[in-house]
């Protein structure tokens, strides 16, 4: 079964605490298959702005979210269980980072979903 995480639905752009803004941050949904998965997704972020990523579509119980690969240019962290990324002000170009959702699947087994974000920072 394919699951989806939607950036657009539960996204707070700015500094992860405001209303979603398509002008600051955008990207297609990320799809994964299974409870142990690694996948990639593209994202465009305005310089100096940020995104927080929702956890829609994850079956099971999350107990932790970690930044599994730090960004090279911007900064990333976790607020509650939601990961976020903030682009460095004045920077334009590529960046990337990864976050991992850890918990128990809907069937009682371990769940570990890693999502690598390939980011394009625009002015």
CA distance 72 to 75: 8
Domain count for the chain: 1
> Tell me, what's the pLDDT at 1?
34
> Tell me, what's the pLDDT at 101?
93
**Domain of 101: which CATH number?**
2.60.40
**From first to last of its 123 residues, what are the pLDDT tens digits of the chain?**
333 343 332 333 222 333 334 578 898 888 777 788 899 999 999 999 999 887 776 777 899 999 999 999 999 999 989 999 999 999 999 999 999 999 998 889 999 999 999 999 999
Q: What are phi and psi of 80, to 5 degrees?
A: 70, -120
> Tell me, what's the pLDDT at 106?
87
CA distance 74 to 57: 27
> Tell me, what's the pLDDT at 22?
54
Q: Which domain holds residue 33?
A: 2-122
- Sheet with 82-86, edge to edge strand ranges: 50-52, 82-86, 75-79
CA distance 70 to 36: 21
> Tell me, what's the pLDDT at 19?
32
């Amino acid at each position: 079964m394919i699951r989806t995480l939607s950036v657009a639905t539960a996204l707070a752009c700015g500094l992860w605490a405001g209303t979603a803004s398509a002008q600051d941050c955008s990207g297609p949904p990320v799809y994964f298959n299974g409870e142990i998965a690694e996948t990639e997704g593209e994202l465009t972020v305005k310089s100096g702005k940020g995104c927080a990523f929702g956890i829609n579509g994850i079956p099971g119980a999350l107990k932790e979210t970690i930044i599994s690969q730090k960004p090279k240019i911007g900064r990333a962290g976790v607020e509650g269980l939601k990961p976020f990324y903030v682009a460095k002000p004045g920077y334009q170009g590529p960046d990337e980072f990864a976050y991992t959702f850890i918990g128990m699947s809907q069937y009682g087994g371990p769940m570990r979903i890693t999502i690598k974000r390939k980011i394009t920072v625009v002015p």
